[in-house]
């Protein structure tokens, strides 16, 4: 595309970038909402704390653990934007990661959140995966 001046080109590129960033915010908002809904609807298997064969506590949210969403590559436009917004941070081994802090210690609810969040990102052309592990 031809521009009459450098200022016009810079103005047009800034407008395109701001539009792309607004789209990213909409995607993240949808992903977060999908994650919350998935986490709330997850049905964790209760965990029992047993001392010498006697159940002493029941934890209804199930096992404890962690979950995250990874976006690769880290130099993609979305990843750079997410880092600048403080939504994601660089990840060891490449990419950026969103650490799921919702739903206390329930690995089942966190994993459901991460899976739904990553799915919305993928549906919008962002290379994302979900991961989880027990504590």
Residues 32-45 pLDDT 10s:
999 999 999 999 98
| In-domain check, residue 2 | no
Q: Is 97 exposed, middle or buried (0-12, 13-18, 19+ CB in 10 A)?
A: buried
Looking at the DSSP bridge assignments, the partners of residue 90 are: 96
Q: What is the helix (H) or strand (E) element at residue 65, kind and residue range?
A: strand 65-71
Average pLDDT score over residue span 118-134: 97
| In-domain check, residue 91 | yes
| In-domain check, residue 12 | yes
pLDDT greater at residue 48 or residue 130: 130
Looking at residue 65, its pLDDT comes to 96
Residues 53-108: pLDDT tens digits?
Answer: 887 888 888 999 999 999 999 999 999 999 999 999 999 889 999 999 999 999 99
Looking at residue 57, its pLDDT comes to 85
Average pLDDT score over residue span 24-29: 98
The domain total for the chain is 1
| Residue 69 near residue 118 (C-beta atoms within 8 A) | yes
pTM of the model: 0.89
Q: What is the helix (H) or strand (E) element at residue 69, kind and residue range?
A: strand 65-71
| In-domain check, residue 1 | no
Looking at residue 8, its pLDDT comes to 93
Nearest to 70 by CA among 112, 24, 126, 25: 126
Looking at residue 51, its pLDDT comes to 86
Structural domain boundaries, residue 59: 7-134
Residue 1 pLDDT > 80: no
């Amino acid at each position: 595309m031809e521009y009459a001046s450098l200022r016009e080109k810079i103005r047009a590129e800034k407008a395109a970038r701001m539009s792309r960033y607004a789209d990213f915010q909409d995607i993240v908002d949808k992903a977060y909402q999908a994650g919350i809904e998935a986490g709330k609807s997850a049905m964790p298997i209760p965990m029992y704390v047993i001392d010498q064969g006697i159940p002493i506590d029941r934890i209804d949210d199930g096992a404890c653990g962690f979950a995250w969403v990874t976006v690769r590559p880290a130099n993609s436009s979305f990843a750079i934007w997410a880092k600048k917004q403080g939504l994601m941070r660089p990840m060891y081994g490449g990419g950026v990661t969103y650490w799921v802090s919702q739903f206390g210690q329930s690995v089942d609810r966190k994993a459901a959140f991460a899976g739904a969040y990553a799915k919305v990102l993928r549906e919008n052309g962002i290379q994302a995966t979900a991961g989880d592990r027990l504590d």
